[in-house]
Amino acid sequence: MSNALPHVLISEVGPRDGLQSVKATMALPHKLAWVSALHAAGLREIEVGSFVPARLLPQLADTADVVRHALGLPGLTVMALVPNLKGAQAAFDAGVHKITLPVSASEAHSLANVRKTCAQMVDEVRAVVALRNAVAPHIQVEAGVSTAFGCTLQGHVPEAHVLDLAEALAKAGVDDIGLSDTTGMANPAAVRRLFKGLQSAVGEKAGAAHLHNTRGLGLANCLAAFDVGVRTFDSSQAGLGGCPYAPGASGNVVTEDLVFMFEAMGVDTGVDLDKLMTARGALKQGLPDEPLYGMVPDAGLPANFTPHVRPLRKSP
Ligand code: ZN
C-alpha cells in the first residue's frame, strides 16, 4: 500500500454552471479575473463556459474569449460544455482541452432540454466523437449523465436505465462518463449504488460526480461517492446559481465547503483555501448583487486549521 496522500480533482464549474443560472451577465474582464483567481487558488480543471447559441444563453456568449485566456494558465485543463455537434466544432476551434456533453437519463428532461430522445443524444455523442477523432484526437470527451438520480419532470429515473445509457455512451467512444444529480434528488445510499454500478458497467471510463446541494445532502453525497472510489468532483464557487426550486439553497455543491471537507479529512485537493477566498472576492466583484453560498466562508476556518493533515498510517 502506498503512503501517498489520497487526492481528488475538484473540477470547478462555476463559470459555466453558475453563470448560466443567474440572470445577470458577468462582464468579460471580471470573468477572466475570476478564472485566473480560481487557477491561482490551485484549481486545475475549470469548466469555463459553454458553446451554445448566444440567444439561448447570452451570459456565456463570450466563452471563446474566456477559453483563449484560460489556455494561458499553466497546468489548467480548460473545459467547456457542448450540447451538440455544432457546439463541439466551436469548442474544438477555440482550442479547449476537454468537452463535456450532457446526456439526460430522463426522456422527458431530454426532450424538454435539447428536443432529442436519449437514443438520439447517444447518436449525437457518437458524431461528436467521430469529429474529435478526425480533427482533434488529443481533446478529451466526457459525457455527463444528467438527472441520473431523479427528474422533476419525469420523477423516478430507473437505475438500470442510467447504467444502460452509460454503457451506450462508453460504446459511442467517450473517454469518461460522469453522473449528475441535476435536480438535487440524490442521497448517499443511491450515490454509492449508482457509482458502483457505473464502475461495473464502464470500468475505467467511470468519471466525475456532479452533485447538488438543493436539499442539503451535497457534501454527504460527495463523501459517499469518495468512499466508493470516485476521485473527480464537480463543484461551484459560492454554490453560484442557487436553485430556482429551493430559495436560499445553493444548487451546485459549494467548492469552498467541499475543499474544506476533503482537506480536513486528510485528502489532498491541491487547493489553497485562503486563495480560494480571494477568488470568491473576484466573483463578488463581477456579480455584486448575486447571493453567495457556503458554510465555511460564513463561519471561517477553525483556529489552527492545517490543510491535508497526513492520516495515521496503518501498520503493515
Ligand atoms: Zn450543476
Encode pLDDT of 33-70 as tens digits: 999 999 999 999 999 999 999 998 999 999 999 999 99
Share of the chain above pLDDT 70, in %: 94
Neighbours of 288 (CB within 10 A): 9
Residue type, 9: L
Residue type, 33: A
Identify the band that residue 169 occupies on the pLDDT scale cut at 50, 70 and 90. Answer: very high
Residue type, 28: L
From the number of C-beta atoms within 10 Å of its C-beta (0-12, 13-18, 19+), residue 204 rates as: exposed
pLDDT of residue 3: 55
Identify the band that residue 225 occupies on the pLDDT scale cut at 50, 70 and 90. Answer: very high
Q: What is the pTM of this model?
A: 0.94
Render pLDDT for 103-113 as a digit per residue (tens, 0 to 9). 999 998 898 88
Q: Residue 3 domain-assigned?
A: no
Q: Residue 20 domain-assigned?
A: yes
Residues 6+ apart with CB under 8 A from 68: 94, 95
Q: In this structure, what CATH number is given to the domain that contains residue 282?
A: 3.20.20.70
Q: Residue 311 domain-assigned?
A: no
Q: Which position among 118, 151, 222, 243 bears the catalytic label?
A: 243
* Distance from the alpha carbon of residue 180 to the mean position of ligand 1, in angstroms: 7
pLDDT of residue 316: 45
Q: Which residue has the higher pLDDT, 250 or 10?
A: 10
Number of folded domains in the chain? 1
* Distance from the alpha carbon of residue 302 to the mean position of ligand 1, in angstroms: 28
Cα separation, 272 vs 267, in Å, equals: 13
Alpha carbon distance, N-terminus to C-terminus of the chain: 8
* Distance from the alpha carbon of residue 182 to the mean position of ligand 1, in angstroms: 6
Q: Residue 305 domain-assigned?
A: no
The H-or-E segment that residue 85 falls in is helix 85-94
Q: Residue 312 domain-assigned?
A: no
Q: Residue 310 domain-assigned?
A: no
Give residue 104's domain range. Answer: 9-299
* Distance from the alpha carbon of residue 312 to the mean position of ligand 1, in angstroms: 34
87, 104 contact by CB (below 8 A)? no
Q: Residue 304 domain-assigned?
A: no
What's the whole-number mean pLDDT along residues 147-171? 94
From the number of C-beta atoms within 10 Å of its C-beta (0-12, 13-18, 19+), residue 6 rates as: middle
pLDDT of residue 250: 78
pLDDT of residue 1: 45
Mean pLDDT of the chain, nearest integer: 93
Residue 118 annotated as catalytic: no
pLDDT of residue 262: 97
| Phi then psi dihedrals of residue 252, to 5 deg | -70, 155
Neighbours of 272 (CB within 10 A): 17
293, three cell numbers: 453560498
* Distance from the alpha carbon of residue 226 to the mean position of ligand 1, in angstroms: 18
* Distance from the alpha carbon of residue 240 to the mean position of ligand 1, in angstroms: 10
Render pLDDT for 123-147 as a digit per residue (tens, 0 to 9). 999 999 999 999 999 999 999 999 9
Q: Residue 260 domain-assigned?
A: yes
